[in-house]
Amino acid sequence: MDHVDFITQQWEQERPDLDVTAMGIIGRVGRLYLAYQAEMQKTFQRFGLNAAKFDVLATLRRAGVPYELSPGDLLKATMVASGTMTNRIDRLEADGLVSRKVNPADSRSFLVGLTDQGLGLINDAVEAHVATQAGLLGEMAAEDVERFKALLSKALVAAGSR
């Protein structure tokens, strides 16, 4: 029995007319998100990063060689506001992890790319991040992980997210 069971049982006792099944599922997803985030933040901090910086660096890294994207492409990949992205890029540039250059396809715009330092850092950080995430699922059997992944995917689609 977890804490969400305690809450839903109280509701079931006080309001037996309500079906609190969804409340229990969503409550668990929320608590799980917070637990996962806390562990992942520890990993990011080991590399002098936070989730926002990691997100931009990882997005550039998974874009492939030459590890650069336009700010618009970064916005689409990370789903943050324009001003937020500009602030992230500014901080990463000040840290020497990314650089800006004029876009050869359109001189009115620029590209953001990983520096050598940024590439080395994200390569190390993403390895630790993947290990942290695997550890968070480590107590689950492989077939449970696959079933969990499939159910979460269905839940995202049902909620209108992809």
Q: Considering the entire predicted model, what is its pTM? A: 0.86
Average pLDDT, the chain: 94
The total of other beta-carbon atoms located within 10 Å of residue 82's CB is 10
- The second-level CATH assignment, the architecture, of 49-138 is Orthogonal Bundle (1.10)
Q: Report the percentage of the chain scoring pLDDT > 90.
A: 84
- Banded pLDDT at 38 (limits 50, 70, 90): very high
- pLDDT for 47 beyond 90: yes
Task: Kindly calculate the radius of gyration of the chain based on its CA atoms and give it in whole angstroms.
Answer: 20
Amino acid occupying residue 41: Q
d(CA 40, CA 66): 27
User: Domain map of the chain by residue range?
Assistant: 1-12+19-46, 49-138
Burial label, 114 (beta-carbon count in 10 A; 0-12, 13-18, 19+): buried
Least confident stretch, 47-56, 98-107, 116-125: 98-107
Contact 44, 129 (CB under 8 A): yes
> CA 22 to CA 38: how far, in whole Å?
24
